[in-house]
Amino acid sequence: QQMRTSVPEILAIGDAASYRHWFTGGDVRLESVQNATDQARLAARTIIGHADNYSAVPWFWSDIGDMKLQMVGLIAGGDSHVVLGDVAENKFSIYHYAASRLLGIESVNRPGDHMLGRKMLGAGFSPSPQIVATGPDGLKAALAAFQQAEPARAAG
């Protein structure tokens, strides 16, 4: 949780590190710039004596041709999904669920969906597929209502 290995004086981060992930409950090894840099910050805090747990929301970003690909969360184990936007236009997001829990969002040329997704997952908010289907405005309103009802949890 603090990026220490089985030899506590040795820390491991980034592509090389497999660790028990707070979001999945299982061991994961993530290859992304976000994971490497967030773990580096936490490892630095560990070295200077803090004992925070690693709790960053995983996200990934890449530009490929005219496509801005963005992902947030971890979608392994998903069993259903909801699509927002227009697949034919190459502007869409896929919201992945395991039962009623939102696992993650994959977006193509919909950066607003990605940023809102990071806020939702970071706050511990899992909107229902019905709320997702109402689109970004409905999601923003539902997140605001959730944060008002559970301000301590939403503040992380």
Ligand X SMILES: Cc1cc2nc3c(=O)[nH]c(=O)nc-3n(C[C@H](O)[C@H](O)[C@H](O)COP(=O)(O)OP(=O)(O)OC[C@H]3O[C@@H](n4cnc5c(N)ncnc54)[C@H](O)[C@@H]3O)c2cc1C
Nearer to ligand X, 63 or 89 (CB): 63
Which stretch in 55-63, 79-87, 93-101, 123-131 sits in contact with ligand X by CB under 6 A?
55-63
CA-to-CA distance for 107 and 100, rounded, in angstroms? 20
Stretch that binds ligand X, among 11-19, 41-49, 88-96, 131-139 (CB under 6 A): 11-19
Angstrom distances, CA of residue 100 to CA of 54, 68, 95, 97, 138: 25, 28, 11, 6, 18
The answer to the question of residue 62 lying near ligand X (CB under 6 A) is yes
Quote the least distance from Cβ 39 to ligand X, whole Å: 8
In the chain, where does DSSP find H-type helix? 33-47, 111-123, 129-132, 136-149, 151-154
CB 119 within 8 A of CB 143: yes
Minimum CB distance to ligand X, residue 32 (Å): 4
Which of the stretches 31-39, 50-58, 118-126, 131-139 binds ligand X when contact is defined by CB under 6 A?
31-39
CB nearer ligand X, residue 15 or residue 150: 15
**Residue 5 binds ligand X, judged by CB under 6 A:** no
Query: Where does residue 132 rank: exposed (0-12), middle (13-18), buried (19+ CB within 10 A)?
Result: buried
Q: Which residues bind ligand X (CB under 6 A)?
A: 14-16, 31-34, 36, 60-62
